[in-house]
Amino acid sequence: MEKNKFNQVKNGVQQIIDFVAEKNAKEANNKLDELLDFADEDEDLIEVSRFQVLLNQLHQKIVGLNGQATGSI
């Protein structure tokens, strides 16, 4: 994976964290979906998998926000 793609993954994760902090579950979920769809080559999948635990935790937080702030989206 080229460095630019790795930076895109890191930036995407940071954006998700920012949306969660803002309690913006819809945008956080959209960004998470976008990030998961980002990987199209094997090395991209390997790189994204390094973030998998964090992404799973963020997903759980987003689900919690949905139930807390807006109900189901």
Indicate the pTM of the whole model: 0.69
How do the pLDDT tens digits run along the chain, 73 residues long?
Answer: 467 777 888 898 899 999 999 999 999 989 988 887 766 777 777 777 778 888 888 889 888 887 765 444 3
d(CA 40, CA 30): 18
Tokens, residue 42: 């094997």
Q: Where are the domains of the chain?
A: 3-70
